[in-house]
Amino acid sequence: MAPPRATPEFVETSLTGLGLLSTPIFNKGTAFTEAERDAFSLHGLLPPQVGDLNQQVARRMKAFHALPDDFSRYTFMRDLQDVNETLFYALITRNVEEMLPVVYTPAVGEGCQRFSEIWRKPRGVFLSYPNRERIETILKHPRYDGVRCIVVSDGERILGLGDQGAGGMGIPIGKLALYTALAGIHPLSCLPVFLDVGTDNAERIADPLYLGWKHERVRGEEYDRFVDRFVRVVKKRWPHVLLQWEDFAGHNAGRLLDRYRDALPSFNDDIQGTAAVATATVLAAVNVTGVPLREQRFAVLGFGSAGRGIAGLLCSALAQVGLSESEARSRFYAVDKDGLLVEGMDGLRTEQAAFAQPKASVADWQRGDNGIGLLEVVKRVRPTVLIGVSGQPGAFTEDVIRAMAAGVARPAIFPLSNPTSRSEAHPADLLRWTEGRAIVGTGSPFGAVDYEGKQHRIAQTNNSYIFPGMALGILSARAKRVSDSMIMAAAQALASMSPTVKNSQGALLPPLDTLREVSISVALAVGREAAAEGLAAVRGEAFEQALRANIWEPVYLPYRRRK
């Protein structure tokens, strides 16, 4: 079932009866017309009343609102996706702000933890280590002929929840649902893939319902050979496929991206998508504070793959406004599990070392059991921007925030860890501890906060502003590689759409219900940058035509019976 390149005028299929109703991408449920019920042997399988998509959306929304909690709603939406994809995407695109926290963060976190409990129907591909010799056989099935983009995970670092084993499949499924809902990429183009190399989560192993391979994680050379086999098969099967790496642990995420980004157009959303949305939000905050980017000082709590990605892209932004590489890096104070990164620390990884502070410059700083802590960094540095990607709930303590606010008129504070339970701070506390002066962006959604009679809208600094549009731009340009400049182009495109560009009192990021428009702007910027760098097979007017043709709309079309 190869996907069309644009929303066609009609659907042609040889499926009939229960076969048609059981195929999510083709099922229209009660919206099949009388003539279609005649042609496809549907009479008796459906209630007699012929409906339409609007009625179905209203019916499903009523059922959605009757559910008691977000996990129930998450399960409801996953079931709907496996029954009627057009209706599933219609619900999301018409109710983005309400649906996004349910089909993505934060509800997807519990969905991954309880994946084995709610699994009902096959979606995507599970490639387990015991089946490593069968990868090519599995992926060569004709059902995958139309695949153009893959999101792959091994489930070791799911959001801030750690190793969830096979439950990590919830992330590729959720990410690709947003490829379609927010950027219009056809559902049949999208393939979620889970690399099941075992799990070190004892709770999952002990669970009699656990669906994954019950074995400790494969590591080292065996792991690398397994991943390499997967990539080689994918490249042979789909030479131009987009491959997004998702929720790999820090010790694998960066090195896998570096190893394979030239083999296929690849990006890692945890590293590059997070970096792009964080950079865009910082640029928007500059519009609010009036303090030029070149004068900003950054403290980053959590310096795994996400923290390094953010710091790296922000360094590139500082270079664009005139700072040298060494000057740009000197503006960053990275705090990880052993405190502030300092030259010569034990266990300092190569990619972290570039942001380590010289020993001499921090020689007289106070040290605790875990080195130089965040509070000491804030007191000494007086950062203008504080970013959290640590997965440590409550890590932005009152002492830390009050110390920051004492040295900065408008502190920009971004607790970005997901899901909500892992956020470094609650926005209401941040505003209270800064007397309402903080500029706040969070990874998970929080409602507006009232502080002394003023409503503060909290920007959801969420990767969904970036990765769907990036994918659309990469696919439409047929980019052969995803460059750092393309990531920067995505960040700058988002920043240009910030309401703060026209009004310094505006929200940091565009409203969530404009995410389709945001994705198209990001896609255009990414594709044009790919062309400028000589990385695009499709460029100029042809690129813009291809982009429009790649946008699928969740609407019902007339059906014709294929003979």
Residues noted as catalytic: 104, 175
418 is in an annotated binding site: yes
Query: What's the CA gap between 105 and 518, in Å, rounded?
Result: 19
Please, which residues have CB within 8 angstroms of residue 26's CB and are 6 or more apart in sequence?
11, 13, 15, 20
Query: Do residues 298 and 331 touch, judged by C-beta distance below 8 A?
Result: yes
Q: Tell me: is residue 95 an annotated ligand-binding position.
A: no
On whether the CB atoms of residues 335 and 301 are closer than 8 A, the answer is yes
The DSSP 8-state label assigned to residue 553 in this structure reads: -
Give, as one character, the DSSP assignment of residue 216: P
Question: Per the annotation, does 201 bind a ligand?
Answer: no
Token pair 């005139």: residue: 322
β partners of residue 479: 536
Cβ neighbour number for residue 203 with a 10 Å cutoff: 12
Q: Are β-strands 242-245 and 339-340 bridged in parallel, bridged antiparallel, or unpaired? A: unpaired
Structure-token pair, residue 121: 């129907």
246 marked among binding-site residues: yes
- The 8-class DSSP code of residue 270 comes to I
- 313: CB partners within 8 A, 6+ apart: 272, 275, 276, 278, 279, 484, 487, 488, 491
SS3 call for 42:
coil
- Residue indicated by tokens 């007191």: 379
The answer to whether 462 is a known ligand-binding residue is yes
Q: Is 303 helix (H, G, I), strand (E, B) or coil?
A: coil
Residue pair 458/442 in contact (Cβ under 8 Å)? The answer is: yes
The sign of the torsion formed by the CA atoms of 80, 86, 90, 92 equals positive
Alpha helical stretches, state H, 515-557: 515-532, 540-549
State the Cα–Cα distance between residues 406 and 403, nearest whole angstrom.
5
Give the span between the Cα atoms of 48 and 45, in whole angstroms: 9
Binding site for a divalent metal cation: which residues? 246-247, 270
Binding site: which residues? 157, 246-247, 270, 418, 462
Binding site for (S)-malate: which residues? 157, 418, 462
